[in-house]
Structure 1
Amino acid sequence: MSEKNIKNIFVNGPIAPAFIADSIAKHSSKTAIGGHSIFMGQVRKDEINGKFVSAIAYTAYEELALEKMYQIREEIFEKYPLKCMHIYHSLGTVKAGEICLFVFTSSAHRKPAIAACSEVVDRLKVELPIWGKEIFEDESHQWKENS
């Protein structure tokens, strides 16, 4: 029986633009790839009941989230002819305007990369035990509802 290769998707704090750029740059030597799809989730400065969101504090049931992400990853690779897939999600506080989710899929052609990226984002928003607490400018807070 082989050991599962469960990848840690969690990053403390925001996902830095330099990290994203480096991830993209590393794929230039992978010449069998013809299409990439990238999704970046950014914290919005929403106005809710007259107050503005200044940040979101993310928490997760990490062990269960990583196990579930492994399962989703396996199913996506089975369904689409991908060359690679990278997923990173923030934990801790991420300010409005900063990146909290980075999904990067690659395949020989664009359509599988785009479809896989979209499905991964949709599934992780619904299936992973990750929660966000919206922190308002006045330092009050409330749990965020995914849409």
Structure 2
Amino acid sequence: MSDKKIKNIFIQGPVPPSFIAESIGKHSSRTSIGAHQIFLGQVRGDEVSGKVVTAIEYTAFEDLALEKMHVIREDLFGKYPLTCMHIYHSLGLVKTGELCLFVFTSSAHREAATQACAEVVERIKGELPIWGKELFDDSTHQWKENK
């Protein structure tokens, strides 16, 4: 593993829209950037067996998730000419309609930012030990399957 510091990707509760706007605004002085790609994950109010999802409660094996995310991050910086990459994933309760994942990649050109963003989202979903418990309108719950 590299000597670079492992970044914490976790925030408690939903990702506030104002935080996203501030993150975008902070990059306006970085004039070598020509493209940003953003992915926002939002909790859906799915209907499952006649019950409606009202929220998801996220938990994670945080230390392992952060180590794995560090490896993914290093891999993507080696694969794509990125200027920067920011990732924020919710822990705790996130209600339907609220944001639970914010991925923000930047590069000189759109292709690298777009491809890296798509790949990091898929790898987060497939490789990180993060789980969501769907909470339903009838006060029951079940563990969510990552799709």
TM-score, normalised by the number of residues in structure 1:
0.98
Distance 2:2 2:96 in 1: 42
Distance 2:73 2:98 in 1: 25
Residue type at the aligned position of 2:142:
Q
5+ long unaligned stretches in structure 2? none
Residue in 1 that maps onto 2:55: 55
Distance 1:2 1:42 in 2: 32
Q: How does 1:33-48 map to 2 (within 5 A)?
A: 33-48=33-48
5+ long unaligned stretches in structure 1? none
Residue in 1 that maps onto 2:87: 87
1:102-130 per-residue CA deviation (whole Å, 9 max, x = no partner) reads 00000000010000000000001000000
Residue in 1 that maps onto 2:123: 123
SS at match of 2:145: coil
Cα RMSD, aligned residues only: 1.1
SS at match of 2:31: coil
Distance 2:113 2:123 in 1: 15
Closer/same/farther in 2, CA of residues 23 and 70 from structure 1, 3 Å limit: same
Distance 2:30 2:132 in 1: 35
After superposing on structure 2, the runs of 4+ consecutive aligned residues of structure 1 that deviate more than 6 Å are none
The question of 1:137 aligning with 2:98 is answered: no
Residue in 2 that maps onto 1:106: 106
Once the 2 structures are TM-superposed, how far is the Cα of residue 138 of structure 1 from its aligned partner?
Answer: 1.2
TM-score, normalised by the number of residues in structure 2:
0.98
Identical-pair percentage:
70
Closer/same/farther in 2, CA of residues 51 and 2 from structure 1, 3 Å limit: closer
Once the 2 structures are TM-superposed, how far is the Cα of residue 139 of structure 1 from its aligned partner?
Answer: 1.2
Once the 2 structures are TM-superposed, how far is the Cα of residue 2 of structure 1 from its aligned partner?
Answer: 6.8
Residue in 2 that maps onto 1:4: 4
Count of aligned residue pairs for this structure pair: 147
Distance 1:4 1:91 in 2: 24
Residue in 1 that maps onto 2:72: 72
SS at match of 1:29: coil
